[in-house]
Amino acid sequence: MSAIAQLEDGDEPSDSTIRGCEEYFCRLFSPKGVVIRDAAELLWYIFHPLKEDQGVEKLPPTAGAWEEHIRRAHLQAHVWSQDLSLQPDVLDPNTLGWETIDGRLRPVLTLVDLAPA
């Protein structure tokens, strides 16, 4: 949980914060009694036993998707931490999980390939 508390620190989340948040998400998605700390390993663990007629809605997000979500959460935590500041420090959302398309912010879903080539 300390990684989540560090989300607002700095211009970008540190590698240890991203890793700690990923481990936390893995604990949330892992089946009871299973300890998995890596998003890719968890995705494979859940995907492997699925039958052809089962949908992918049971799968957790990919590691790349989680990282972009963590980056967006960092930006939001940074904004909220300055709620009483008259001149808040504004971070660039285009470096924290967002991209500008046609003048509007859109979330970056992932920068990592969804599957190996």
- Mean pLDDT across the stretch 11-29? 92
Q: Is residue 60 included in any domain, yes or no?
A: yes
Give the residue among 110, 27, 105, 29 at the shortest CA–CA distance from 67: 110
Q: What is the pTM assigned to this prediction?
A: 0.84
Q: Is residue 116 included in any domain, yes or no?
A: no
Q: Is residue 115 included in any domain, yes or no?
A: no
pLDDT at res. 18: 94
Q: Is residue 31 included in any domain, yes or no?
A: yes
Q: Is the pLDDT of residue 107 over 80?
A: yes
pLDDT at res. 61: 86
How many Cβ atoms from other residues are within 10 Å of residue 88's Cβ?
Answer: 12
Range of the domain at 99: 2-107
Q: Is residue 113 included in any domain, yes or no?
A: no
Domain total in the chain: 1
60 and 34 Cβ atoms separated by less than 8 Å:
no
Q: Is residue 18 included in any domain, yes or no?
A: yes
- The pLDDT confidence band at residue 1, using thresholds 50, 70 and 90, is low
- The pLDDT confidence band at residue 29, using thresholds 50, 70 and 90, is confident
Q: What is the pLDDT of residues 38-97, one digit of tens each?
A: 898 888 888 877 777 777 777 788 889 999 999 999 999 999 999 999 999 999 999 999
How many Cβ atoms from other residues are within 10 Å of residue 79's Cβ?
Answer: 15
